[in-house]
Structure 1
Amino acid sequence: MTTAEKSQEDTEIYTFLDSDIQRAKDICGIYHAVTQREQFSRATPDVIRNFARSYGDDNPLFVDEDYGPDTRWGAQIAPPMINIALRKDLLADKMPREHRRPAFRGIHVFVSGSQTDWYRPVYDGDTVYAFHGFEKVELKESEFAGRSLFVTRIHVQFNQRAEVVQAQRVLTIHTERHESKKRKKYDAIEAATYTPDEIAAIDELYAAEAPRGSQTRYWDDVQVGDSLGDLVKGPLTATDMMVFHSGGYGFAPYTPSAGRLGYKNRQRIAAFYIPNEQGVPDVAQRIHWDSEYARSIGLPAAYDYGMMRDCWLTHYLTDWMGDEGWIESMSSQMRKFNYLGDTHYFTGEVTGKRVDGGRHLVDVEFRGTSQRGEVTCPATATISLPSRESGLAVLPTPPADWELIAAQMLKRHGELRAQKRRSGQA
């Protein structure tokens, strides 16, 4: 690309098409089967354990298959965020053109936050499927920023019995792109460095951490204002990112691959591969572990995934609540980058307690704060705890219409699979 061509590209204006905005609104409430699998499709003790370990969680409820049978769950269960690594593809009829989501070509997209609701645990042997769709679309306009489209997408996960296990709503903000100028906003951010004494101080925090486990935390004993304790994560390294990937996250829909599979993937999505400093095509996703590449596009270093911090946030909660608690819902925001070298300190407190439909609930506010003193990921959550009077924590009930949709999709999946078998395609 010549300098003139690059200059023309930098000054190109990308705006929303009114037809794309209207289509986004029209498809709200229309759900589609997810036809792409994640890294794993069926829960096993190894899948569950390795996923928990991928973000640094050593809770025996998740990592020890011999521990779970002695808990209220009767077996090892998966960590809350297992949905980001576990999903089997569904066979489905071809989506009508008018139901496809708009491309929004040239429009900036970023994730502002998410809310997850949990209904049932995932056990060894469970297969997880999903359907998704737009739930809400809202257009906002300002003289300074132009038009922004706020899109809430919902992803509903269910097991092989058509039982909904969880639902996640993700808020994405689509913004118009006008004349681009080199940003200087990150120039003042310096990479974190540590002395041996500072690493020793972090190690002391790690040494003091432990999941509450079998020491039941009763709703009756929790008071508003109680601290949730402390949890540390970091300093973040490229190794942390690799281990997180090895636990199953970050493959769909891009499917980073090696060798011949990498070549085939490059033919499928050539634009996703950008030559590195040696001229070798490599995934754009390496911005999460390759600081040289991150610096080449104006960032001070590689940075984590928002979903990694969601895993950290749920780790903080499950350590506090013990084996018998259940996270009903969590809402989180990703306000700042978490760069390689950064350390996060998690703190929180109880903000309310109540009884709702026989469920003894505790509301909490918590957050991750970097070594710079910046709160990068504030969150709120509702936790169901056992009570001394009524016993076990009661799980919430998923919407009946979701389970009906799940059953219909599984039925159609089976019909299409049978058709493929009869035609010799499977």
Structure 2
Amino acid sequence: MSDSAVIGTELAQGKFTDDMLSAMRALIGTELRTDACVNNEYATRLAIMRFCEGIGDDNPLWTNAEYAKDGPFGTLVAPPSFIFACLGSVQVGWPGLGGFHAETKMTFNEPIRVGEKITAKVTFDGFDGPIADSSFGGRRIKDYLRQEYRNEEGELKATFICSRMRFERGEMQKRRESRAIEVPHPWKDEEIAEIEAQILAERPRGTEPRYWDDVQVGDEIDVITKGPLGLTDFIAFIAAGAAPIPRVAAHAVSLKRYHKHPKWAFRDPRTHALEPVYSVHYNDYAAQLQGAQIAYDVGIQRTCWQIHSLTNWIGDTGRLLGLTGQYRAHVYLGDVVRLGGRVDAKEVDEQGRHIVRLTTWATNQRSQQVMPGTAVVALPKRPAA
């Protein structure tokens, strides 16, 4: 029997076992291989521009060299989310189990400047569970990958704690109908026109400083809107270099990988082509095998939108220092997501930075909170008169 015969039309159906849990405990603290998941080593002008196009962020601080040379860094810099275009994440263990990105925690130091080489170190920090049962998908665990991004001088640019929920796909599929909703959403022409007008009116704050002194507790940040999400929006994210675990490939390159790792793929019964597990983000059939309704977004894609909303609000002279986000529901093809936030507190930290703490959110057209989160930003203080 050839290797291809073991790749069926279903995603792999693994089970939690004592041996699996013991093997994963033994991996805690292991630095993981990243070669197959690196998308960009250098923050070139084109790599940054392609990434910004893939997340829909046209801030000239990232994309216009003439504009950026007069900015606070004297050159083009990448948006904080660009680390995902260097390495989104990696896969570790849990053979045959399904996975959803559950939570993100990030901290940021100096921005990535055009031309810098960025290297990621990824460490498996362990897992919680398994929880005996959950209404969402039966037994599950939550694991943690710590990803640290440094330049050639060893300066830490950002840290990303990636937490995933792992589950038995069969149990998730059993509960799919209980989560059924109408997808894609039945938009009316006048609703689409209003949404597109809102998107076209969005602007980054740019060169006008947002002073810490002027921000008040309870203020809300400017809203940005993503959607209605189309297949090209999801594919653009892949083309931007942000597809994780591992790189998406074609023809003989992918076929050799799937023969070596049959659980990485399934055979689409309509096209008869082999598709990666990652195709849940653009293939309805794959998404349904994962227990979803149709194709859905990537967790870090949603975080890129969160970062877009924050950097638009703080302006060129503000700095994003950290954020959190929890992925509470699928964001499907056809959905619209609006991202915003509210100022919760102001302070001066130990380093003398003028800090603003925010609660952030992302809501869809069903009024679901699909990504509750937090953020910490530093803003300039108004100069003395």
> Shared fold (TM-score greater than 0.5)?
yes
- Given the alignment, which residue of 276, 285, 288 partners 1:283? 276
State the distance in 1 between where 2:213 and 2:256 align. 58
Pair 1:303-2:296 in alignment: yes
Deviation of 1:173 after TM superposition, in Å, equals 3.3
Deviation of 1:243 after TM superposition, in Å, equals 1.1
State the distance in 2 between where 1:179 and 1:302 align. 19
On the 8 A contact 2:14/2:95 being kept in 1, the answer is no
* Partner residue in 2 for 1:240: 233
On the 8 A contact 2:24/2:93 being kept in 1, the answer is no
Pair 1:116-2:117 in alignment: no
User: Do the aligned partners of residues 174 and 157 (structure 1) sit closer, same or farther apart at CA in structure 2, a change above 3 Å counting?
Assistant: same
* Partner residue in 2 for 1:104: 94
Matched-pair identity in %: 28
2:363 corresponds to which letter in structure 1?
Answer: T
On the 8 A contact 2:61/2:76 being kept in 1, the answer is yes
TM-score for the superposition, normalised by structure 1: 0.78
State the distance in 2 between where 1:177 and 1:151 align. 17
Deviation of 1:149 after TM superposition, in Å, equals 3.8
User: Do the aligned partners of residues 149 and 292 (structure 1) sit closer, same or farther apart at CA in structure 2, a change above 3 Å counting?
Assistant: closer
Whose RCO is larger (CA < 8 A, sep 6+)?
2
- Given the alignment, which residue of 131, 151, 159 partners 1:167? 159
User: Do the aligned partners of residues 295 and 170 (structure 1) sit closer, same or farther apart at CA in structure 2, a change above 3 Å counting?
Assistant: closer
On the 8 A contact 2:37/2:246 being kept in 1, the answer is no
1:248 corresponds to which letter in structure 2?
Answer: G
On the 8 A contact 1:108/1:174 being kept in 2, the answer is yes
* Partner residue in 1 for 2:213: 220
- Given the alignment, which residue of 348, 359, 362 partners 2:353? 359
On the 8 A contact 1:53/1:63 being kept in 2, the answer is no
1:255 corresponds to which letter in structure 2?
Answer: R
State the distance in 1 between where 2:96 and 2:134 align. 19
State the distance in 2 between where 1:37 and 1:200 align. 39
Deviation of 1:186 after TM superposition, in Å, equals 2.9
User: Do the aligned partners of residues 54 and 175 (structure 1) sit closer, same or farther apart at CA in structure 2, a change above 3 Å counting?
Assistant: closer
Deviation of 1:34 after TM superposition, in Å, equals 3.9
Provide structure 2 residue ranges, at least 5 long, that are not aligned to the other structure: 1-9
* Partner residue in 2 for 1:370: 364
State the distance in 2 between where 1:297 and 1:346 align. 26
State the distance in 2 between where 1:371 and 1:177 align. 28
State how 1:118-137 maps to structure 2 within 5 Å. Answer: 118-137=108-127
* Partner residue in 2 for 1:47: 47
User: Do the aligned partners of residues 86 and 166 (structure 1) sit closer, same or farther apart at CA in structure 2, a change above 3 Å counting?
Assistant: same
Comparing 137-146 with 312-321, greater Cα deviation is found at 137-146
Comparing 122-131 with 145-154, greater Cα deviation is found at 145-154
User: Do the aligned partners of residues 286 and 147 (structure 1) sit closer, same or farther apart at CA in structure 2, a change above 3 Å counting?
Assistant: closer
User: Do the aligned partners of residues 109 and 195 (structure 1) sit closer, same or farther apart at CA in structure 2, a change above 3 Å counting?
Assistant: closer
User: Do the aligned partners of residues 33 and 120 (structure 1) sit closer, same or farther apart at CA in structure 2, a change above 3 Å counting?
Assistant: farther
Larger gyration radius, structure 1 or structure 2: 1
* Partner residue in 2 for 1:138: 128
On the 8 A contact 2:95/2:263 being kept in 1, the answer is no
Pair 1:38-2:32 in alignment: no
Q: RMSD of aligned C-alpha atoms?
A: 2.9
State the distance in 2 between where 1:175 and 1:273 align. 17
* Partner residue in 1 for 2:145: 153
On the 8 A contact 2:36/2:247 being kept in 1, the answer is no
2:42 corresponds to which letter in structure 1?
Answer: R
1:247 partner SS? helix
State how 1:406-417 maps to structure 2 within 5 Å. Answer: none
State the distance in 2 between where 1:174 and 1:293 align. 17
1:170 partner SS? strand
- Given the alignment, which residue of 302, 312, 315 partners 2:308? 315
Deviation of 1:244 after TM superposition, in Å, equals 1.1
Deviation of 1:196 after TM superposition, in Å, equals 1.8
User: Do the aligned partners of residues 68 and 103 (structure 1) sit closer, same or farther apart at CA in structure 2, a change above 3 Å counting?
Assistant: same
- Given the alignment, which residue of 254, 258, 263 partners 2:246? 254
Count, aligned residues: 367
* Partner residue in 2 for 1:75: 75
Provide structure 1 residue ranges, at least 5 long, that are not aligned to the other structure: 1-8, 89-100, 391-426
State the distance in 1 between where 2:280 and 2:169 align. 21
